Every structure is written in structure tokens, then in C-alpha cells.
Amino acid sequence: MKVRLRDVADRAGVSVKTVSNVVNDYVHVAPATRSHVQALLDEMGYRPNLSARSLRVGRTGVIALALPELDNPYFAELAGFVVEAAEENGWTVLIDQTDGLRERELFVTAGFRHQLIDGVILSPVALGAEDLVGRGPGDVPLVLLGEKIAEGPADHVAVDNVAAARTATEHLLSRGRTRIAVIGDEPGPDRQSGVAGLRRRGWEEALAAATLPVDEQLVACVQSYQREEGARAMTALLRRGAAPDGVFCFNDTLALGALRALADHRLRAPEDVAVVGIDDIEDGRYSVPTLTTVAPDKEGIARTAVGMLAERLAPGADGIPPRDLRAPCRLVVRESTRGPAGRAQSRTAGREGRHLRR
């Protein structure tokens, strides 16, 4: 039979209220009493009624994490860090894949079915700031990831994509590369405010600082940030005669595909073409050659996002204005730009420090 608070209280010789105070970790319990009651709770296998507790405190203990692609290694690793940070707050994480669809993202920002979750962390693709206008204190607390909606009506955590891209390009320039291609641009005006537009801007800024022109023959657009698109784009660059001696890929999975295409065309990295990515996914540490990358602080992003939700759920949080934080990145130099000799090196990207900053 299920153990009740009354059963524990009778064994401990204390009131039901005292047992309840121990279960709910209230401070006004004598240490000896707390230790005695907790030992009996463990011995008797007491399990709290979470549904009843949620009704009392108005919280479910569940937050949602909504990402566009769960099979993307970057998002998979980020999700793991969010789960770890949430566990430290005693929360369970409900993970959803939006596929970048507007209707799915709108459903998430509304809190799914409002009574199910306490807060949402969302990486939007289709939504704009205008879709969140009118959110108020009665809405589910929301933290946004990525660059699609910056400085909007919700808390926001993102990488400084311009600085990260500039660092990647500057690294290739420091290796004597002067025909640096990019893989990951997107066609159309919508890219300007998104990741692709910002990373292209960082590439252009680095070229301008080195007094090198922007050659559109060295720009390869993609339909997605997957390995096959990286391989296809690298092949297209080679077939059009662009002849790059360095390639900056807008993420690591594109870079892994580009490395495969170079090998298929009997070209070596870095001897013929040096390759850099962004994200520092685990696969890049085991590719041949290992992949030079710009590594964002994924754990810091996750902990900051969860921390923002915790602050929004605390009493008196309605007066806190939306916050916009940037995560640091660091350059990790591996074989795809350095060659097989030596060990991996790293340095901080751009002007970013070790911690998240406003």
C-alpha cells in the first residue's frame, strides 16, 4: 500500500505537519527531528504526490525546450546541458522538435497546453519579434535562443555570430589563405537578421580588414546545415572553378561534409584547402583530419537560459525587463587548418570573455 504522511508521522512520533515540513524542506524544523523523519521517509519508501503539490504551489516542475532539429549534433549537445541545468532546479524537461515551422513555434510560445509547463526555452526559426508582441505577465515565461529574434519582448541568449565568423576567417587568413570560400549562406533577404547573415557579415569584415575583395564565386548557399549539403556545396565550388584555398563553413556538420567532398576529389586538408567550422561538435574531434572550429559555450548558454526561467518564476519577476546576453566563443585549432603535427590549441574568439555578458 502507498505510504502516507500519517504513517510516517505515527512511526516518528511527530505531527503530520512536521513530516510535511520535512518533505517540503521547510527551514523551521530541528536538525535532529529532520534527520529522524527523513530516515523514516527513506526506510518506508514514501513518495510525494507531485500532482497535489503542483496544484498547491501553482507549478508543475516541468519546462519545455523546443528546438528546430533534434538530430543536429549542436542542438543535441545543447539539450543535454539544458537537462543537466534543469535537474539542479528540480525540473523535468519536455523536449519538442519544431522543424522550424511557424505554427509549431507559435504553439510552443503559448506554452503548449498552458497548465502543463512552467516555462519555455525556444530556438525560433520562423517567428519574428512581431509574433511575440503583446506577451504579458500572464503568459508562460519564455527564453529565446539564437539570432532570429534579438532585443525582443522576451529574454534572449545567443552567440556573437559576427565575432565568431570573423575569428574563423581571421584564422584562415593567418594561415596564408587568401581565397576563402564560405559554405552556409542562404538566398533571399530573410538571412540578413539570421545566423547566415551574421556569419557572412563576420567573413566580410575579416576580408575587408585584410583588404581582400568579396568574391561571390566563393559563396555557396545551402538548403540546410547538414553534412550532405556541405558536401554538395564544396563539390559545387570545385566544379565552378572557384579554387578556394580555405573554406569557412557556417557550422561543423557542413564542414564535415566539405571535408568528405575534398577527399572525394583527391584534395587534402589543410595542404590544398584549409577548413574551419563553428559549434565544436564531438564528431569534429574524431574526423580525419580533425576539424578546426569556433566553439560556443554551450553549457553556459544552457545554464543561463535555465537561470533566466528560474528568475522569471520567482516572486516579483514581472518588473524585470527583457534581457539580452551574449555567450563567449573560442577558436579550437585542429588538423584541418594546422596539419597533423602538434596539439590542439584554443583562444578566445573576438572580444568575448569567459562568461556570458550583456
**Tens of pLDDT, residues 8-44:** 999 999 998 899 888 877 778 899 999 999 999 989 9
Neighbours of 62 (CB within 10 A): 17
- The C-alpha cell of 100 is what? 522550424
Give how far Cα 4 sits from Cα of 1, 10, 48, 55, Å.
Answer: 9, 10, 9, 18
Question: If pLDDT is split at 50, 70 and 90, which confidence band does 191 have?
Answer: low
What ranges in the chain are assigned the alpha helix state H? 5-12, 16-23, 31-44, 50-57, 73-88, 102-109, 161-174, 195-209, 227-239, 252-264, 298-313, 335-338
pLDDT, tens digit (0-9, with 9 covering 90-100), for 113-165:
666 889 999 999 988 888 888 777 678 899 999 887 776 789 999 999 999 99
Q: Going by C-beta distance under 8 Å and a sequence separation of 6 or more, which residues neighbour residue 157?
A: 143, 144, 145, 301, 304, 305, 308, 325, 327, 356
- CA 322 – CA 320 distance, rounded (Å): 7
**Residue 214 near residue 204, CB atoms below 8 Å:** yes
Please give the backbone phi and psi of residue 104, each rounded to the nearest 5 degrees, phi first: -70, -40
C-alpha triplet 41, 56, 44: angle, nearest 5°: 10
Give yes or no for a contact between 157 and 128, defined as CB atoms under 8 angstroms apart. no
Residue 69: phi and psi, rounded to 5, are -145, 115
Instruction: Catalogue all structural domains in the chain, each as residue range(s) with its CATH number.
Output: 57-159+298-327 (3.40.50.2300), 161-295+329-348 (3.40.50.2300)
d(CA 80, CA 93): 10
* Whether the predicted pLDDT of 50 surpasses 80: no
What share of the chain has pLDDT > 90, as a percent?
A: 67
More confident residue, 187 or 281: 281
When pLDDT is cut at 50, 70 and 90, the band that residue 66 belongs to is: very high
Q: What amino acid occupies position 93?
A: V
Q: At residue 102, does pLDDT exceed 50? A: yes
Confidence (pLDDT) at 55: 46
pLDDT at 303 over 60: yes
pLDDT at 57: 52
Give, to the nearest 10 degrees, the angle between helix 31-44 and helix 5-12: 120
pLDDT of residue 47: 77
What mean pLDDT is reported for the chain?
A: 88
CA-nearest of 190, 69, 72 to 128 is 190
Q: Mean pLDDT throughout 268-282?
A: 97
Kindly write down the DSSP assignment for every residue of 290-308, as one continuous string.
PPEEEEE-HHHHHHHHHHH
- Look at residue 108 and tell me whether its pLDDT is greater than 50: yes
Neighbouring-strand partners of residue 183? 220, 249
320: confidence class by pLDDT, cuts 50, 70, 90? confident
CB 257 within 8 Å of CB 226: yes
